[in-house]
Structure 1
């Protein structure tokens, strides 16, 4: 890996994204719309919105980042762009981490906008610091980037890339503790949730929602999410193919 080549890749991806207004709108404004919609769905029960909304500040960006990253990377491969790039002195790690940096810049904007709208416009009631919530939302969005880069290696078309979402993301949403406490689930589901990264993201956000200061488990949850994100990025670099037949 080379820092210069990684940064050059990130700049190229950012330029491409800057010319795609629909993708920019998807990344930045769809999570805001969904949060606002959820606020009015739970209009009669604000406490329910507080409980669910804090976690969704991270989950919505994860979903949009996962979809956008996986499809964008796959498109590079199917159009032959990736093959031409890798004929140059550009390693797989340069490409993967360049993509992660570029989409990570959008993740910062996305998480910042979503947290600002949730806390200051939609009156999300937090006992803890909104900065901790923002930090965890950003890490969750970066996890979505890492997962999207990883699964793009196994998809042969954009349709297949989208199909990975119900296979990989939706099960995590169901067992992460968003709808029911994890310790009340069937033992097999509880064990499964203990190895899925979204469970730790939701656990950290719930801790910020309910407690002042830094929750006792916050650093552990951050370490797990960061570790898994870096692990999926490394796997994405290993499994990346030059093109799709």
Structure 2
């Protein structure tokens, strides 16, 4: 298959790219700054510059691909977010609009755990003990992007899935090839999940979809 990964320079995007290549797929890795991510390029990976919030750019980059992955963020981590000169609250809405308009046969987006519901039905982002209040604006922007995908409904061209890793995401974890899928609620029993295994879930759902037009929590 041909897979385009938007946000290929981030931790999730790199893991998805590596997993796709491991399975013999050809990948187009889209990043904001090609020069900063030259190490991504390989015989199986073409690195292209692009802006996921630009519908024209996204459509051009997604053309000819069997699937698209959205693993984008305007900044990685609280420190990087604090250094942004300006944060666009509609960043993830614009990304959702652009990716849907690009029309890939399959779209898998990496979500944010703060948009999951806790056992009482409350958003994780609304619990100050579970999520930093200073990042709620970022989390709400993520939720707005999820809601925009949900608004696409059952349109034939909108074969999307949001895979949301839980808080037990382990940056240093090894690839085990195993994971579990849930729904909109934080799993009662959370086990650590590596980025590599998150990528296994993403590529599995591209190759043989089990969930469509919904959001699923992913955990170990």
Taking structure 1 as the reference length, the TM-score comes to 0.25
- Bigger strand share: 2
Larger Rg over CA atoms: 1
Higher helix residue share? 1
Give TM-score scaled by structure 2 length: 0.27
